[in-house]
Chain A
């Protein structure tokens, strides 16, 4: 057994906590999770059944923590997990799992399969069996501070562009602002209009906001690859910046795992409560609307539908706000089948879109999205995640479906009354 493999198995033993133990011991092998997973439904291959993806972790659990498993290991019935097996499992644990959480919510005994996959990823990562695409992102996060290699001068250049484009000031390192806005690398690189939209909206509702030069991006590669230490470092950087700037609320960007890491796991990762609130931008916009601060004018008249990002809707419970916002600006907003809590993933979450070797499978799984779109035949598709947006565009191109994809924050900003 190689040193990294030994480390990986040790990590797998360590990550098996009471939750994992109770999940494995209560699994009734019903297979319902299979029909919840887009990689199974679109390929029909039983290896993509979510609970099957956990086989190496299950074996370690049984061999280390159950009497029968220990006996089986002793007399050779049950074989130890090998390096080759973990390498083979990479496709199941990373390429074909977006951590979308559909399997977790259909499990009749309440097993959080996503939680288990993430724990297995910790062992995979420690044994060197994470995909190269994610390893590269992690290395850049450690060395540069950003998974996509974004440095402060690039952000400053984008700020300058947005200021010129929108004719507004983008505050940097402003102390005591109402909101500290975090970005994802994707927004900095591909969607500068998101930053412009935030500026317009904050100006319109009369709130102060700022970016931080010390922590401008929230993308959490640690969460995706399965490295809690790294996830903690990324969250700590944001916490330090927010506390230094005395921000009241930190706005998570339109990036699923940035939101989950910061909003739902951040305080546990750093081991203490935050001194500020964390909200997704859609929650913030929903709050502005509920408080009567967000005023819009005019309506889109073509048929629009909304793709719910998994981490926001299913894992984060934010479902109502985006619908209220859509109805504020769209006359003909239609819902796809399974929209909201049970929406189907775009297929690129949880780091999957960074894994080149998973592209063919990802595009095959996208057929489920095509069926959703076909059911309502929208003119445009709206979403609230920069990664979903690109994965959706790629899938639509592959299936030759003409359906422009736009961001909800930008759409809302387009409907703000012109400043007097």
Chain B
């Protein structure tokens, strides 16, 4: 299966089972992990990748990455550091990989993908060069490989 655009990407997510979705969400975070320095995110991704992770473990990680996302917000009136803000969106994406997958979970994982892309957008803004990034293509390949495995 080849994914070439977001419509196909969304369609592919809708076809995935919950464990594939969680792995996809973890993959999206992994791809932008260098943009964060928060160890809590690494731990959350590790748990999300474990097929036998218990609900309690996931819940603990969820709390932890939610706290990480909250702590990395740029508050109103503060100078925005786009590199730190990239870290914030990585944490937001990490929330998606450990939260309960309700209503099939595809929408939640899609939003995680968007957060990961936002992290990359923040990185681009921080460098001050252009507006392009290829995170979407990276995500297409992650989902393709999960579906083809």
A-B residue pairs in contact (CB < 8 Å), sample of 15: A133-B77, A148-B74, A148-B76, A148-B80, A154-B80, A157-B125, A164-B117, A185-B76, A186-B76, A189-B74, A354-B77, A387-B76, A390-B76, A393-B70, A397-B66
Q: Which residues in A have some Cβ–Cβ distance to B below 8 Å?
A: 133-134, 136-137, 140, 147-150, 153-154, 156-158, 160-161, 164-165, 167, 184-186, 189-190, 192, 219, 221, 224, 348, 351, 353-354, 386-387, 390, 393-394, 397
Q: Is the CB of A354 within 8 A of B76?
A: yes
Shortest Cβ distance from residue B31 to the other chain A in the assembled complex, whole angstroms: 16
Q: Is the CB of A390 within 8 A of B73?
A: yes
Q: Is the CB of A192 within 8 A of B79?
A: no
Contacts of B67 in A (CB 8 A): 397
Output the nearest chain A residue to B126 by Cβ-Cβ distance. A154
Q: What interface size band does chain B fall in?
A: 20 to 34
Contacts of A134 in B (CB 8 A): 77
CA distance A190 to B80 in the complex (A): 10
CA distance A362 to B7 in the complex (A): 44
Shortest Cβ distance from residue A128 to the other chain B in the assembled complex, whole angstroms: 18
Contacts of A351 in B (CB 8 A): 77
Which 4 residue pairs across A and B have the least CB separation, nearest first? A354-B77, A137-B77, A387-B76, A157-B131
CA distance A379 to B133 in the complex (A): 37
Contacts of B78 in A (CB 8 A): 133, 136-137, 148, 354
Output the nearest chain A residue to B121 by Cβ-Cβ distance. A161
CA distance A153 to B130 in the complex (A): 8
Shortest Cβ distance from residue A96 to the other chain B in the assembled complex, whole angstroms: 17
CA distance A198 to B7 in the complex (A): 21
Q: Which of B7, B70, B77, B131 contacts A394 (CB 8 A)?
A: B70
Q: Which of A149, A184, A224, A394 contacts B79 (CB 8 A)?
A: A149
Contacts of B8 in A (CB 8 A): none
B6 at interface by CB-CB < 8 Å: yes
Output the nearest chain A residue to B73 by Cβ-Cβ distance. A390
Output the nearest chain B residue to A158 by Cβ-Cβ distance. B121
Contacts of A161 in B (CB 8 A): 117-118, 121
Q: Which of B89-140 contact A (CB under 8 A)?
A: 114, 117-118, 121, 124-125, 128, 131, 136
Contacts of B125 in A (CB 8 A): 153-154, 157
CA distance A158 to B73 in the complex (A): 17
Contacts of B117 in A (CB 8 A): 161, 164-165
Known A-B contacts A154-B82, A160-B131, A164-B136; the reply to A221 vs B121 at CB < 8 A is no
Q: Which of A189, A354, A387, A393 contacts B80 (CB 8 A)?
A: A189
CA distance A190 to B88 in the complex (A): 9
Output the nearest chain B residue to A156 by Cβ-Cβ distance. B131
B56 at interface by CB-CB < 8 Å: no
Q: Which of B76, B79, B85, B131 contacts A348 (CB 8 A)?
A: B76
Contacts of A157 in B (CB 8 A): 121, 124-125, 131
CA distance A390 to B124 in the complex (A): 24
> B7-18 vs A: 1/0 string, CB under 8 Å?
100000000000
Output the nearest chain B residue to A192 by Cβ-Cβ distance. B118
B75 at interface by CB-CB < 8 Å: yes
Q: Which of A164, A190, A221 contacts B77 (CB 8 A)?
A: A221
Contacts of A149 in B (CB 8 A): 79-80
Contacts of A160 in B (CB 8 A): 121, 131
Q: Is the CB of B77 within 8 A of A397?
A: no
Contacts of B82 in A (CB 8 A): 154
Q: Is the CB of B77 within 8 A of A165?
A: no
Contacts of B114 in A (CB 8 A): 165
Contacts of A185 in B (CB 8 A): 76, 80
CA distance A147 to B74 in the complex (A): 12
Shortest Cβ distance from residue B136 to the other chain A in the assembled complex, whole angstroms: 7
